[in-house]
Amino acid sequence: MQGGAGVAAMPRKILLITDIGSDIDDVWCFLALAHLQEQRHVRIVGIVTTGGNVSARAMIARRWARALSLVDEALIVHGAEDLRPNLHVAGFLAEDHPAASHSGDTHRNSSDFIFDVLREHGPEKVTIMAIGALTPLAAALTAATVESNNATVRIKALADGGHFPEIDYSNLQLLQSLHCLAIQAQAVQNKGDLLIPDVENAFNLRDDKEAAHTVFNQLSTHVPFVLIGKHAAYRVPIWQCDLERLDMACPEAHLQR
């Protein structure tokens, strides 16, 4: 990512939504992001876990983030708990694991966390990258919409009384002003040029269909979407030399083997 006249562009700020767990795909994403961040192509400004068992997933994310020097552990949060079976990560969560972190789970409301990140860094400079269910983003949209509707009623009442308050940058405007929304999934385009999530064939969308429809319906006309379908993702091979290159690029990220 280079700017004009040989000037390096600023790193792209990434807010990651992940269902990191016992599968390797999100771990590989963390490794790739660590490499890109080392090369100053990206800067991770926050991580939100999704996909059920979110507190356990947040613990996994914190331990990988610590091992990879990816982001401060305080910037990794989870949404409302949704316990599900089959998250087998006991070995990785053991206290003697090389990536073990002893920081506590400081739970924050994931919607408020997303708003705070966007307000701090500027929504137009932040890309939300979703490699898991869109549940946290849909929850933020729902909360922002309710807040916006209530604010409209209050502002109208004040205006009717002759008072015209200054209007702050609302949380809904923050979400509608994102630089980009990148999703590991696919969609179809209807005759009205609206994106419709392919909830039957994309796992990350199928995992919370309602959330997928909420995000696509409310943001696709405001925010550029970048979709990476599973068939495109499957065409990217991973070789031993790729892992060795990441090791050389991020020497501080070495885990004990």
pLDDT in tens, 220-252: 999 999 998 877 767 777 788 877 776 775 565
Single pTM value for the model: 0.82
Q: Write out pLDDT tens, residues 177-205.
A: 999 999 999 998 776 778 899 999 999 99
How many residues are present in the chain? 257
Q: Which residues of the chain have pLDDT under 50?
A: 1-4, 90, 96-100, 102, 152-159, 164-167, 257
Contacts of 14 (CB under 8 A, 6+ apart): 33, 42, 43, 44, 45, 126, 127, 128, 129
Angle, alpha carbons 182-188-193 (nearest 5°): 90
Tokens describing residue 210: 């309602």
